[in-house]
């Protein structure tokens, strides 16, 4: 059965793989895009819905069965944008999804975001992701949270490892991440689960 799925971050590296996967499976993804975003790489026929994660308007999730947050502020932005997009934007999207009565919310998070007081160079980013994840868990929505290790642009791996067996120092191909996100969104296989992921 074809599903209406809103994808935040659809024009990003992982998002493009994700949207293509959903289209290939016969679903109807809608890309949440900022005004002026380059949408040329999106598959033809994908619907667009304008919205900025730093200032999402009411009704952005209306008509959707599933919402996927696969966006990110990017590695070159400062702490303020990390908070606006990865924490506050994600939390706002969760709230709007709940308001719209969506069936499922899938969050692309990061390995290490399970820690409430992360340490290290990207501690600020991991704290923002942690806060967004916890907000989703408490929202009452059916959820799935995926926490991949370091992302690469490599081709699809021979397999993926999910959960406790993940090597935190390993890599995850974006195309593999997209496959798991699509499965989480459309099958319910990972409902109520927050899990690490790697490619192998």
Q: What are the pLDDT digits (tens) for 132-157?
A: 999 999 999 999 999 999 999 999 99
User: Above 70 in pLDDT, residue 24?
Assistant: yes
Residue 45: the pLDDT is 85
User: Above 70 in pLDDT, residue 65?
Assistant: yes
Q: Which residue is catalytic, options 105, 125, 143, 190?
A: 125
Task: Decide: helix, strand or coil at residue 31.
Answer: strand
pTM above 0.85, yes or no: yes
Structural domain of 195: 4-199
Tokens 């916890």, residue located: 134
Residue 75: the pLDDT is 60
Report residue 84 CA to chain centroid gap.
15
Report residue 193 CA to chain centroid gap.
14
Q: Are strands 160-162 and 193-199 parallel, antiparallel or unpaired?
A: antiparallel
> Which of 170-199 are b and which e, b meaning 16 or more Cβ less than 10 Å from the residue's Cβ?
bbbbbbbbbbbbbbbbbeeebeeebbbbbb
Alpha-carbon distance of 58 to 43, in angstroms, equals 27
Residues 171/150, Cβ–Cβ less than 8 Å? yes
Alpha-carbon distance of 55 to 106, in angstroms, equals 20
CATH code at position 52? 3.40.50.720
How is residue 107 written in tokens?
Answer: 């969050």
Residues 156/176, Cβ–Cβ less than 8 Å? yes
Q: Kindly report, residue by residue over 83-132, the tens digit of the pLDDT.
A: 999 999 999 999 999 999 999 999 999 999 999 999 988 999 999 999 99
How much is the mean pLDDT over the chain? Answer: 96
Q: Where are the alpha helices (DSSP H) in 33-161?
A: 79-81, 90-100, 123-137
Model confidence at 76, in pLDDT bands (50, 70, 90)?
Answer: low
Tokens 């949440």, residue located: 32
Model confidence at 191, in pLDDT bands (50, 70, 90)?
Answer: very high
Task: Decide: helix, strand or coil at residue 180.
Answer: helix
User: Above 90 in pLDDT, residue 73?
Assistant: no
Taking residues 165-170, report their average pLDDT.
96
For the chain, the domain total comes to: 1
Which residues, at least 6 apart from 137, have a Cβ–Cβ distance to it below 8 Å? 143, 145, 194
Report residue 186 CA to chain centroid gap.
14
Residue 131: the pLDDT is 98
- 125 labelled catalytic: yes
């Amino acid at each position: 059965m074809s599903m209406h799925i809103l994808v935040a971050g659809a024009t990003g590296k992982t998002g493009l793989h994700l949207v293509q996967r959903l289209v290939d499976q016969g679903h109807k993804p809608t890309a949440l895009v900022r005004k002026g975003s380059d949408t040329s790489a999106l598959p033809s026929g994908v619907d667009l819905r304008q919205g900025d994660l730093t200032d999402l308007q009411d009704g952005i999730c209306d008509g959707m069965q599933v919402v996927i947050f696969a966006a990110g502020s990017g590695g070159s932005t400062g702490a303020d944008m990390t908070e606006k997009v990865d924490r506050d934007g994600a939390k706002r999207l969760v709230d709007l999804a709940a308001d719209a009565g969506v069936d499922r919310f899938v969050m692309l998070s990061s390995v290490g975001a399970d820690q409430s007081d992360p340490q290290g160079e990207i501690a600020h980013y991991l704290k923002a992701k942690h806060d967004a994840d916890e907000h989703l868990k408490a929202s009452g929505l059916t959820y799935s949270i995926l926490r991949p290790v370091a992302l690469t642009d490599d081709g699809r791996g021979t397999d993926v490892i999910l959960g406790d067996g993940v090597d935190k120092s390993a890599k995850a191909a974006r195309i593999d991440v997209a496959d798991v996100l699509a499965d989480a969104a459309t099958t319910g296989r990972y409902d109520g689960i927050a899990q690490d992921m790697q490619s192998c």
